[in-house]
Structure 1
Amino acid sequence: MAEPIAARSCWCRLCQYLGAGSATVNVCFPTEAVTISGEIRYFQSVADSGNVMQRGFCPTCGTPLTSAAEARPHLLFIRAGALDDPGLIGPQATIWASQAPDWACIDEALPSYPAQIPPVA
C-alpha cells in the first residue's frame, strides 16, 4: 500500500449524502501508487468547489469508494472505510464545516475550514 498524502473529513453536502448524513473521511494518494481490484463504476458531478469530479462506487453494493478531480488527475481520494486498513491515517483537517448540520461532531483538535482548502499536492 502506498503512503497516503493526507486525509480530511469533509462536510460538503455531497459527502453528507455519501456518508448517510455524516461527513466522509477521504484519504489522498498519488494516483499511480494505487492498485484497485474489482470493478468500479463512475459518476461524474461538479463539487461545491466547482471541480469536475469522477466518483467511483461498487456496482454490486453501491458503496462509495473514490473521488478524483479532473483538474488533479495525479491525486486519488479513497473513502477511509473502503481501505483494507481503515486506520491507516485519520483526518488531519475538517473541510466544508460551514455546511455541517448543528448536531455534527467536529473534532476541535483538528484545523477546521468553512469551505475547500488548497489541494494537498
Structure 2
Amino acid sequence: MSYTGRCACGSVTLVITGAPITARQCWCRQCQQVAGGGPTHNVMFRTDEVTFAGTLLTNSYTAASGNTIVQSFCPACGTPIMGQSSARPQFRMVRLGAIDLPHDIRPQVAAWTDDAPAWAVIDPALEQHPGQAPPPQNLS
C-alpha cells in the first residue's frame, strides 16, 4: 500500500509506503483546539514508512495521558500534518485530512470521548474509550 498527501497550499508533501496500523478520532481538548472544535482524525503509520518534503513547524505539550505530544503543521497555511507521541516514537499519526483522496481509510476508534462537547456526534459503530485508547494489537 502507498499513499500521498499534502497541506492545503502544497508547500508540504508526504509519501507513505506502508499500510495504516489504525485510524482514530481523538476528542481530547488539545485535539479539539487543533481541529477547530471537533476531533482530530489520525492514521498511525510506522515512522520509517512516512517521508515528508517541505518545512514543518512543530508544537509540543504534555497531554492528559502524560505523554509528550509533538504536532507538526505547515507554516505557510497552517494545515495540521501529523502528531507523534513519546509513548510510541516508532509511529507517526498522520492527520487524515493531509492524505490525498481517494483512499479507504476511516476511523475505527474514538478516544477521549469524555472530553467531547455535549453536541458531539460520535459514530456508535466506533470502538469508544472515555480516555486514552489502548495501543493497537498489531504493533509488533
Q: TM exceeds 0.5?
A: yes
- The match for 1:56 is 72
Q: Does 1:27 align with 2:43?
A: yes
Say whether 1:98 aligns with 2:114. Answer: yes
- What secondary structure, in the 3-state scheme, does the structure 2 residue paired with 1:15 have? helix
Q: CA RMSD in A?
A: 1.2
Equivalent residue runs for 1:63-74 within 5 Å = 63-74=79-90
Q: Which runs of 5+ in 2 are unaligned?
A: 3-17
SS in 1 for 2:81: strand
The number of equivalent residue pairs is: 121
Q: Which amino acid aligns with 1:111?
A: E
**CA-CA distance at 1:71 after TM superposition:** 2.6
The one-character-per-residue Cα deviations of 1:2-47 (angstroms, maximum 9, x if unpaired) are 2110000110001101111001110000000111121111111111
Larger Rg: 2
- Which stretch of structure 1 is more off in the superposition, 84-93 or 2-11? 84-93
Letter in 2 for 1:108: P
Contiguous gaps of at least 5 residues in structure 1: none
